[in-house]
Amino acid sequence: MLTKEHIAQKFRTLQDDICRQLQEADGGGKFTEDNWLRAEGGGGRSRVIEGATIEKGGVMFSAVHGPLPEVTAKAMNLPPTTFFATGVSIVLHPHSPMAPIIHMNVRYFETGSGRWWFGGGIDLTPHYVVPEDAIFFHQQLKNTCDRFHPDFYPKFKETADDYFYIRHRQETRGVGGIFFDYLDENSAGMSQEQLFAFTYAVGQTFAPTYVPLLENARNRRWGEAEKKWQMLRRGRYVEFNLVWDRGTKFGLETNGRVESILMSMPPIASWGYNLQPKPGSPEAETQAWLRKGVDWV
Amino acid sequence: MLTKEHIAQKFRTLQDDICRQLQEADGGGKFTEDNWLRAEGGGGRSRVIEGATIEKGGVMFSAVHGPLPEVTAKAMNLPPTTFFATGVSIVLHPHSPMAPIIHMNVRYFETGSGRWWFGGGIDLTPHYVVPEDAIFFHQQLKNTCDRFHPDFYPKFKETADDYFYIRHRQETRGVGGIFFDYLDENSAGMSQEQLFAFTYAVGQTFAPTYVPLLENARNRRWGEAEKKWQMLRRGRYVEFNLVWDRGTKFGLETNGRVESILMSMPPIASWGYNLQPKPGSPEAETQAWLRKGVDWV
From first to last of the 297 residues of chain A, give the pLDDT tens digit: 899 999 999 999 999 999 999 999 999 999 999 999 998 899 999 999 999 999 999 999 999 999 988 887 887 788 889 999 999 999 999 999 999 999 999 999 999 988 999 999 999 999 999 999 999 999 999 999 999 999 999 999 999 999 999 999 999 999 999 999 999 998 888 999 999 999 999 999 999 999 999 999 999 999 999 999 999 999 999 999 999 999 998 888 877 899 999 999 999 999 999 999 999 999 999 999 999 999 999
Strand arrangement, sheet containing B101-111: B32-37, B42-49, B54-67, B82-94, B101-111, B116-125, B176-183
pLDDT at residue B68 tops 90: no
Indicate the residue type of A95.
H
- List the single residue in B253, B259, B270 with the smallest CB-CB distance to A273: B259
Region of A274 (left: φ > 0; alpha: ψ -120 to 50; beta: rest) is left
Name the residue of chain B whose CA is nearest to A263's CA: B273
Predicted confidence (pLDDT) per residue in B17-31, tens digit: 999 999 999 999 999
Q: What are phi and psi of B34, to 5 degrees?
A: -140, 140
Chain-chain contact of A231 with B268 (C-beta, under 8 angstroms)? yes
Chain-chain contact of B269 with A272 (C-beta, under 8 angstroms)? no
Q: How far apart are CA B52 and CA B214, in angstroms?
A: 12
All residues of chain A having their beta carbon less than 8 Å from the beta carbon of residue B261 are: 168
Residues of B marked as catalytic: 103
- For the segment B148-177, the average pLDDT, to the nearest whole number, is 98
Check residue B254 and give its pLDDT.
78
CA distance A227 to chain B (A): 13
Chain-chain contact of B34 with A274 (C-beta, under 8 angstroms)? yes
Residues of A marked as catalytic: 103
Check residue A282 and give its pLDDT.
97
Chain-chain contact of B268 with A167 (C-beta, under 8 angstroms)? no
Check residue B73 and give its pLDDT.
84
C-alpha B254, offset from chain centre: 20
Cβ pair A62, A44 in contact under 8 A: yes
Q: How far apart are CA B173 and CA B290, in angstroms?
A: 7
Check residue A105 and give its pLDDT.
98
- List the single residue in A48, A261, A268 with the smallest CB-CB distance to B231: A268
pLDDT at residue B75 tops 90: no
Chain-chain contact of B58 with A267 (C-beta, under 8 angstroms)? no
CA distance B209 to chain A (A): 25
Q: How far apart are CA A125 and CA B219, in angstroms?
A: 43
Model pTM score: 0.96
Most A CBs within 10 Å, among B262, B263, B264, B268, to test the A interface: B262
All residues of chain B having their beta carbon less than 8 Å from the beta carbon of residue A238 are: 238, 242, 269
CA distance A47 to chain B (A): 10
All residues of chain A having their beta carbon less than 8 Å from the beta carbon of residue B231 are: 268
Question: 10 Å Cβ neighbour count for B52?
Answer: 12
Region of B42 (left: φ > 0; alpha: ψ -120 to 50; beta: rest) is left
Name the residue of chain B whose CA is nearest to A170's CA: B255
- For the segment B223-235, the average pLDDT, to the nearest whole number, is 98
Cβ pair B222, B96 in contact under 8 A: yes
Architecture of domain B4-289: 3-Layer(aba) Sandwich (3.40)
Task: Work out the pLDDT band at B122, boundaries 50, 70, 90.
Answer: very high
Check residue A44 and give its pLDDT.
95
- For the segment B237-243, the average pLDDT, to the nearest whole number, is 97
Name the residue of chain B whose CA is nearest to A246's CA: B243
pLDDT at residue B241 tops 90: yes
Cβ pair B252, B261 in contact under 8 A: yes
User: What is the enclosing helix (H) or strand (E) of B275?
Assistant: none
- List the single residue in A48, A169, A231 with the smallest CB-CB distance to B273: A48
C-alpha B32, offset from chain centre: 20
- List the single residue in B168, B258, B265 with the smallest CB-CB distance to A169: B258
Q: For strands A268-270 and A32-37, give the pairing.
A: unpaired
User: What is the enclosing helix (H) or strand (E) of B72?
Assistant: helix B70-75
Tell which wins on pLDDT, B44 or A70: B44
- For the segment B36-54, the average pLDDT, to the nearest whole number, is 95
Q: Which residues share a beta bridge with B86?
A: B63, B108
Chain-chain contact of B270 with A269 (C-beta, under 8 angstroms)? yes
Chain-chain contact of B252 with A58 (C-beta, under 8 angstroms)? no
Check residue B54 and give its pLDDT.
98
Nearest to A198 by CA among A143, A262, A160, A125: A143
Nearest to A175 by CA among A218, A141, A221, A222: A141
CA distance B167 to chain A (A): 8
Helix and strand tally (H, E) in chain B? 9, 10
Distances (CA, A) of B252 to A149, A174, B260: 38, 20, 10
Chain-chain contact of A239 with B231 (C-beta, under 8 angstroms)? no
Chain-chain contact of A238 with B243 (C-beta, under 8 angstroms)? no
Domain ranges across chain A: 4-289
CA distance B144 to chain A (A): 32
Question: 10 Å Cβ neighbour count for B163?
Answer: 21
Chain-chain contact of B252 with A274 (C-beta, under 8 angstroms)? no
Task: Work out the pLDDT band at B79, boundaries 50, 70, 90.
Answer: confident
- For the segment B66-85, the average pLDDT, to the nearest whole number, is 86
Predicted-complex ipTM score: 0.95
CA distance B238 to chain A (A): 9
Tell which wins on pLDDT, B158 or A189: B158
All residues of chain A having their beta carbon less than 8 Å from the beta carbon of residue B271 are: 56, 262, 265-267
B interface with A, Cβ–Cβ < 8 A, is 34, 46, 48, 56, 58, 167-169, 231, 235, 238-239, 242-243, 249, 252-253, 255, 258-259, 261-263, 265-274
